[in-house]
Amino acid sequence: MAEKRLSSGEVVKTGISFGSALAITISWSANKSILWAMLHGLLSWIYVQFPRARKIRWIAETSRSA
């Protein structure tokens, strides 16, 4: 059987969908509100990018002082 290889674009696309689904599922189980679940699904990228941006800023600040 031939092995299917995924390009990096396909992997990222799958990851985004999985992240949104995970945010919606966790939100629904915690709040039992479809509006909160939809909001968390839409904002799921912020949950990833905000800590990442803070870490990049921290690295930049520490490298300047060194």
Number of domains in the chain: 1
**Is position 38 within any domain?**
yes
Tell me the C-alpha to C-alpha distance, in Å, between residue 12 and each of 18, 22, 27, 28, 44. 10, 15, 22, 24, 14
Q: Give residue-wise pLDDT tens across range 21-43.
A: 888 999 999 999 999 999 998 88
**Is position 25 within any domain?**
yes
**Is position 55 within any domain?**
yes
**Is position 56 within any domain?**
yes
**Is position 53 within any domain?**
yes
Across 41-45, 51-55, 57-61, the highest mean pLDDT is recorded for: 41-45
Q: Does position 11 have pLDDT exceeding 60, yes or no?
A: no
Domain extent for 31: 11-65
- Both structure tokens of 7: 């390009």
- CA–CA separation, 40 and 54 (whole Å): 20
**Is position 32 within any domain?**
yes
